[in-house]
Amino acid sequence: MATQHRALFISHGGGPLPLLGDPQHAQMVSCLQTIAKQISKPSAIITVSAHWESHSASVTSGAMPTLIYDYGGFPPESYTIQYPCSGSPKLANDITTKLKSAGITVTEDPNRGFDHGLFVPLKIMYPEADIPCVQLSLLSSLNPESHIRLGEALRDLNDPSILLIGSGFSFHNMRAFFTPETTKMKAANNAFQQWLIATCTSRELSENERCDRLTNWDKAPFSRYCHPREEHLLPLHVCYGFAGSACTQAFELEILNKETSMFLWD
C-alpha cells in the first residue's frame, strides 16, 4: 500500500568504505541501488544522520552545502569524494515552520555541510547528485519519543514526492566490529535484528504497540550490546514518526560481517 509519507532507514556502513569497493559493503551497495531503482525518484530528500546531534533540532539551510569528511584513518581518496547536490533553503524553511508549529524548538544553519551519513548512501543511490537535499539533526538528548515526534511533525509537509532518509546503522557496536565474533555475539546480533524487523514489519501490532516498542527499544534482547549508544538507531524513530505505520519492505543484509537491516515505507 502506498503511503503519503515516504521514508527509508539505511544502515550506512563504515565511513567511506562503501564508496571504495570494500567487499564487506557489497550487499549494502547492491541493496541501495536496488531501492533507488524500485522507488520513484524524489523531488527532494531530507536526511537525518547519526553523525549530527544538537541540543535542539537544527536544519541545514544553505543553498550549496559543502561536504564534511567526518571520519579518519582512511585512504587519501576518501577526502576528495564529491557529491555536489544542492541544498534547499525553501524546504529548510518549510521544515522549520512545521516543527515550530508542533512546538519543537528548531534553528536553521546556513553554514553546516553534509556529513557522510548523507553523501555516502546518496552517492550510491543517486550518483547524478541532482536532487536537492537538506539535513536535519538528531537531538542530543537521544530521547526516542522526541525523535518519533520529530518525524510526526514533518508529516505536515504533506508532499509524497519528498523522501525522508534516516541514515544510521541497525547494529552499531564499534568494539564488536573489531573483535573476532563468537557464537554468543552472533546470536545477540541476530536476536536484536529479528526483534527490530518484527517491530517494523508486523501488521499484527497496533501503531500504539509499535510506537511503544520503539520508545522502549532498550528492553529488546541484547539492545545495549547492539547499540551501546543509540545515535545510529534513532534515525529509524524519525522515519517511523514520519510514516506512522509498519514499513512496506524490510531488507536483511550483512555489513562488516554483521547482520543488519534497512526499512522502506513507500
**Which grid coordinates are listed for 38?**
524500485
Kindly list the structural domains of the chain, giving each domain's residue range(s) and its CATH number in brackets, ordered by start.
6-265 (3.40.830.10)
pTM: 0.97
DSSP annotation string for 71-128 = --S--GGGGS--------HHHHHHHHHHHHHTT--EEEESS--B-HHHHHHHHHH-TT
Using DSSP's 3-state secondary structure scheme, residue 42 falls into coil
What per-residue confidence (pLDDT) applies to 158?
79
Q: What is the mean pLDDT of residues 64-78?
A: 98
From CA 183, how far away is CA 63, in angstroms rounded? 49
Measure the CA angle with vertex 136, ends 122 and 128; round to 5°: 20
Give the residues across from 229 on adjacent strands: none
Are residues 112 and 62 in contact, defined by beta-carbon separation less than 8 angstroms?
A: yes
CA dihedral 75→80→81→86, nearest 10 degrees, is 160
CA distance readout (Å), 61 to 101, 106, 145: 18, 12, 25
Mode of pairing for the β-strands spanning 6-11 and 44-54: unpaired
Which backbone phi and psi does 54 adopt, to 5 degrees? -145, 160
Residue matched to cell numbers 587519501: 76
What per-residue confidence (pLDDT) applies to 105?
98
What per-residue confidence (pLDDT) applies to 1?
35
What per-residue confidence (pLDDT) applies to 89?
98
Whether 37 has a pLDDT exceeding 70, the answer reads yes
From CA 29, how far away is CA 22, in angstroms rounded? 10
Alpha helices for the chain (secondary structure H): 26-38, 89-101, 116-125, 144-154, 174-177, 183-201, 207-215, 223-226, 234-243
- Encode pLDDT of 129-183 as tens digits: 999 999 999 999 999 999 999 999 999 997 889 999 999 999 999 999 999 999 9
